[in-house]
Amino acid sequence: MKLLAVCVLVFSVMAQTRADPIPDDGSPDPVVVAMSPSCPIGWSLINNRCFQYVTRSMTWAGAEKNCLSMGANLASVHDMNEYRQVQSVITMATYGSGRTWIGGTNAQETRVWFWSDGSPLRYTNWCPGEPNNYGGYQHCLQMNYSDEKCWDDETCSVRLPSVCAKKV
């Protein structure tokens, strides 16, 4: 008896459901709206890229290698608004704004800075007097330097936390 009741219920639902026929009037197909991009758990969406703060202190190269293992690079930053949002990612993770590696480097040629993700380095937020390549060994970019929370070139072997970024 229960089986008969379930069958009647299923058939009545199917009978009430119908598919609309596809119009053959020459009109264009309906537009399919894709879901907005999203980031994996633990990542934050900023300007169509996903960012993640990594608390483990590593050298710049170690941090880049760690980001690569997650399908990302050390973060590139392209304007002041994006920089503030990356700072917010750090603040949310740490309740602070400590020095952090991002993807800028001039290790290949002094005074030629570029992002490890290959994007052009046009926006900068250097602290006054930076980059200065102090001692001739500062080839990696740290953010949140000094009370001004600006950029500084630092020796790449220094161990700092980092921010990774990847495209959605």
Please give the domain boundaries of the chain with CATH numbers for all domains.
43-162 (3.10.100.10)
Q: How much of the chain is helix, strand and coil, in % rounded to 5? A: 25, 25, 45
Confidence of residue 20 (pLDDT cuts 50, 70, 90): very low
User: Which stretches of 26-133 are assigned E, i.e. beta strand?
Assistant: 44-46, 49-58, 73-74, 100-105, 114-115
pLDDT of 37 over the 80 cut: no
pLDDT of 125 over the 60 cut: yes
pLDDT of 16 over the 60 cut: no
Q: Do the Cβ atoms of 70 and 52 come closer than 8 Å? A: yes
pLDDT of 81 over the 90 cut: yes
What is the rounded distance in angstroms from the CA atom of residue 137 to the CA atom of residue 114? 17
pLDDT of 5 over the 60 cut: no
CA nearest neighbour of 107 among 142, 138, 66? 138
pTM for the full predicted model: 0.78
What is the rounded distance in angstroms from the CA atom of residue 61 to the CA atom of residue 124? 21
What is the rounded distance in angstroms from the CA atom of residue 41 to the CA atom of residue 76? 21
